[in-house]
């Protein structure tokens, strides 16, 4: 691992790096990964866009669970990994962060610019009129509509969803859009079965193509939504480094792979790079 850490350090020290981050970066903030080591115990599959829009019961179930899950996500704070990325960005070595995470923790750590590939959980969109509302406001309305709704949860999934028995879902009342009154509300995140807005994808491809190196942090690259950037970089001869616990579907494209916890590796890296930069 020492060799690969050295290789990763020199890659970062050269600057003009684009970071692609995934759920593995937020596990140390208490948000479990779907597919990583902590994702094994997951009991239900994520909500699809088709089920959400086509099935009122599925939608009620989603909002009941998400109403509870949001509290846990809203309480999460950036970890050493997020802070190290922000530090590398402030040092001028990382040009941009593309994240698959919807928890807003890169921004909370001080990173900018950040492209949130799959959207943000703290914003809610109306599928009819397109109005964007803060999650805080929707949360307030959901509390008003469900004054007696109480349920205990202690674990949340990366999309802000929690496991909740059906009998607790039954009495939950979702709310409609506060502007057009009838529109269906959906957290402004890309669900499974939904596509990422094309201009957002184009911006990410542009960032990757201008980069000197692409560094993947905490993603198993299972879905094409993130993997396509790794494939594009490799195709253009841009070196790819991957730091993740466990193998990923992008390992074949990478010049460097580091299998280790991000909260441990990233602060060490940031320290080494900063030390090198100040010499």
Least distance between Zn ion and beta carbon 48 (Å): 22
- Residue from 122, 91, 94, 93 nearest 108 by CA: 122
Establish whether 181 is an annotated binding residue. no
Residue 118 is a catalytic residue: yes
C-beta separation of 175 from 146 below 8 A:
no
Q: Where are the beta strands (DSSP E) in 1-40?
A: 17-21
Residue with Cβ nearer Zn ion (51 or 177):
177
Residue with Cβ nearer Zn ion (63 or 229):
63
Indicate which residue of 67, 82, 106, 118 is catalytic.
118
Establish whether 262 is an annotated binding residue. yes
CA dihedral 256, 100, 105, 102 (to 10 degrees): -170
- Residue from 137, 80, 69 nearest 105 by CA: 80
Residues near Zn ion, by CB under 5 A: 126, 128-129, 131, 177, 179-180, 183
Taken in order 240, 243, 247, 249, the sign of the CA dihedral is: negative
Residue with Cβ nearer Zn ion (131 or 225):
131
At residue 48, the 3 state secondary structure works out as: strand
Establish whether 180 is an annotated binding residue. yes
Establish whether 50 is an annotated binding residue. no
Give me the active site residues, please.
118
Q: Which residues are annotated as part of the binding site for NAD(+)?
A: 100-103, 218-220, 244-246, 262
Q: Which residues are annotated as part of the binding site?
A: 100-103, 126, 129, 177, 180, 218-220, 244-246, 262
Q: Which residues are annotated as part of the binding site for Zn(2+)?
A: 126, 129, 177, 180
């Amino acid at each position: 691992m020492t060799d690969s850490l050295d290789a990763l350090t020199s890659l970062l020290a050269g600057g003009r790096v684009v970071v692609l981050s995934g759920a593995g970066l937020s596990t140390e903030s208490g948000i479990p990964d779907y597919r990583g080591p902590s994702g094994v115990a997951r009991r239900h599959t994520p909500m699809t866009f088709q089920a959400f829009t086509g099935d009122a019961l599925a939608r009620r179930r989603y909002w009941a669970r998400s109403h509870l899950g949001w509290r846990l996500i809203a309480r999460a704070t950036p970890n050493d990994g997020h802070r190290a990325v922000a530090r590398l960005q402030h040092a001028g070595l990382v040009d941009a962060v593309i994240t698959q995470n919807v928890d807003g923790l890169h921004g909370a750590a001080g990173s900018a610019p950040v492209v949130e590939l799959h959207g943000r959980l703290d914003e809610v969109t109306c599928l009819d009129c397109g109005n964007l509302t803060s999650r805080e406001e929707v949360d307030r309305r959901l509390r008003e509509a469900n004054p007696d709704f109480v349920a205990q949860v202690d674990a949340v999934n990366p999309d802000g969803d929690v496991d909740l028995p059906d009998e607790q879902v039954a009495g939950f009342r979702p709310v409609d859009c506060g502007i057009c009154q009838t529109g269906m509300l959906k957290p402004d995140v890309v669900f499974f079965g939904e596509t990422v807005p094309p201009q957002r994808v184009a911006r990410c491809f542009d960032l990757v193509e201008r980069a000197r190196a692409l560094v993947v942090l905490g993603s198993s690259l299972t879905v094409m939504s993130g993997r396509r950037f790794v494939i594009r970089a490799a195709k253009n001869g841009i070196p790819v480094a991957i730091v993740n616990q466990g193998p990923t579907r992008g390992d074949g494209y990478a010049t460097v792979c580091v299998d280790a916890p991000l909260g441990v590796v990233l602060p060490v890296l940031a320290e080494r790079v900063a030390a090198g930069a100040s010499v």
